[in-house]
């Protein structure tokens, strides 16, 4: 067993390898991991990252390799959701400038359920090639959504790096276009499985390679991956413009992009398989990635170690320790706000309804990082200075 692999569950058809202690995984996520391990087309083992928590069909923070099938719900509804980071040449930023930059970002980047009032330039949209029926159906709507943050745990954060530079980090996905593609093909998969006499339980309906829908979903998923990148890139351009307006001499470098909801054909253990990463980041040897904490804790820029046992993957963040509803009910608003204020962070908690994104609703990012030292090397630590939340 690797130094950070805390347990292997061997009671199912395939082993489940955990990068956290078994008692640290919530019952719902563990049950979902067991379901994955019993799929007839699952390959080798299931890998569960230290940030794992219950998802829809498959745990967030899980890696599933399959042979001959693709599972829409093992990618999830926010196809291509991920992170991007950009380094500025600034070594510090004063609070007045920081507040002005955040104000400009809020004025130019819609958040939550908001979208642009006018369609954005189609040059930002990925090119449509081949058959993409759902993408074509949603394309015009997507022109209003490219360059928007979305809701939930999505964020724009300005950070102080341990390398001495100010960084910008953005977490967002494919907005409604990805959601629509995901739901459409999950419904198609359920109908196909039922027609074949297979009752696929646990929200894990699949598309077999023999079906035309296998390639269709793969193509539409890949388009959504490109759209999610375009979405983050346009937001980053607007964030850069905000910086430049306040600090005209600023320069930018080292753009990094990493999705953490996708499926890809890759070679592992000598076989070509389809690796589904749901809330998990690819971490090949030397490959750069991002692992954010909460809006009150550090984030990390990392390089992968190419660990075979995790299918060359790592965690995608801190991971939730309580549901959104639990956080709003249990956390103390004054305490959460005071902790952020004491650290000098321009935060995004205004009322009790924002507590689902308070630091107290997330796992300890330091423990998450300790549990995966065999998967990644930390290159730069990033302290939050200001946060815009969805």
Three-state DSSP class for 209? coil
- Of the residues 154, 171, 316, 347, only one is catalytic, namely 316
Neighbour count for residue 338 (Cβ, 10 Å): 11
Q: Is the dihedral of CA 217, 188, 263, 38 positive or negative?
A: negative
How many angstroms separate the CA atoms of 321 and 190, rounded? 31
How many angstroms separate the CA atoms of 75 and 78, rounded? 8
How many angstroms separate the CA atoms of 372 and 2, rounded? 10
Instruction: Reply yes or no on whether 316 is catalytic.
Output: yes
* Contact between residue 162 and residue 192 where contact means Cβ atoms under 8 Å apart: no
How many angstroms separate the CA atoms of 4 and 6, rounded? 6
In this structure, what DSSP letter does residue 140 have? H
Residue 289 has, within 13 A of its CA and on its CB side, a CA count of 27
For strands 60-66 and 271-278, give the pairing: antiparallel
Neighbour count for residue 157 (Cβ, 10 Å): 25
The secondary element (H helix, E strand) that includes residue 180 is helix 175-195
The secondary element (H helix, E strand) that includes residue 377 is strand 376-389
Residue 293 has, within 13 A of its CA and on its CB side, a CA count of 21
Catalytic amino acids? 316
């Amino acid at each position: 067993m690797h130094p950070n692999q805390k347990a292997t569950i061997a009671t199912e058809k395939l082993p489940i390898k955990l990068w956290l202690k078994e008692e640290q995984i919530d019952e719902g996520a563990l049950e979902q991991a067991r379901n994955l391990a019993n799929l007839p087309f699952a390959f080798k083992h299931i890998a569960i990252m230290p940030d794992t928590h219950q998802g829809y069909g498959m745990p967030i923070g899980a890696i599933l390799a399959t042979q001959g099938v693709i599972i829409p719900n093992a990618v999830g509804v926010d196809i291509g959701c991920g992170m991007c980071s950009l380094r500025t040449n600034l070594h510090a930023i004063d609070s007045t400038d920081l507040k002005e930059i955040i104000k400009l970002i809020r004025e130019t980047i819609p958040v939550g359920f908001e979208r642009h009032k006018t369609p954005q330039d189609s040059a930002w949209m990925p090119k449509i090639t081949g058959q993409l029926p759902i993408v074509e159906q949603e394309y015009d709507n997507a022109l209003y959504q490219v360059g928007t943050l979305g809701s939930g745990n999505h964020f724009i954060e300005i950070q102080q790096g341990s390398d001495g530079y100010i960084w910008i980090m953005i977490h967002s996905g494919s907005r409604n276009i990805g959601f629509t593609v995901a739901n459409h093909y999950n419904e198609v998969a359920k109908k196909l499985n039922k027609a074949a006499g297979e009752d696929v339980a646990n929200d894990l309906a699949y598309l077999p390679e023999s079906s035309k829908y296998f390639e269709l979903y793969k193509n539409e998923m890949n388009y959504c991956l490109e759209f999610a990148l375009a979405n983050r890139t346009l937001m980053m351009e607007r964030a850069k413009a905000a910086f430049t307006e306040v600090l005209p001499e600023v320069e930018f470098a080292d753009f990094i992009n990493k999705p953490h909801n996708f499926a890809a054909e890759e070679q592992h253990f000598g076989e070509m398989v389809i690796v589904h990463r749901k809330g998990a980041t690819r971490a090949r040897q030397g490959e750069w990635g991002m692992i954010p904490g909460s809006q009150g804790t550090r984030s990390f820029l990392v390089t992968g170690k190419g660990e075979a046992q995790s299918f060359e993957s790592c965690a995608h963040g801190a991971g939730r320790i309580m549901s959104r509803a639990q956080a709003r009910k249990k956390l103390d608003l004054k305490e959460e706000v005071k902790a952020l204020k004491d650290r000098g962070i321009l935060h995004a908690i205004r009322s009790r309804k924002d507590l689902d994104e308070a630091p107290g609703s997330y796992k300890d990012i330091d423990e998450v990082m300790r549990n995966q030292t065999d998967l990644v090397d930390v290159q730069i630590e990033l302290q939050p200075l200001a946060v815009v939340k969805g």
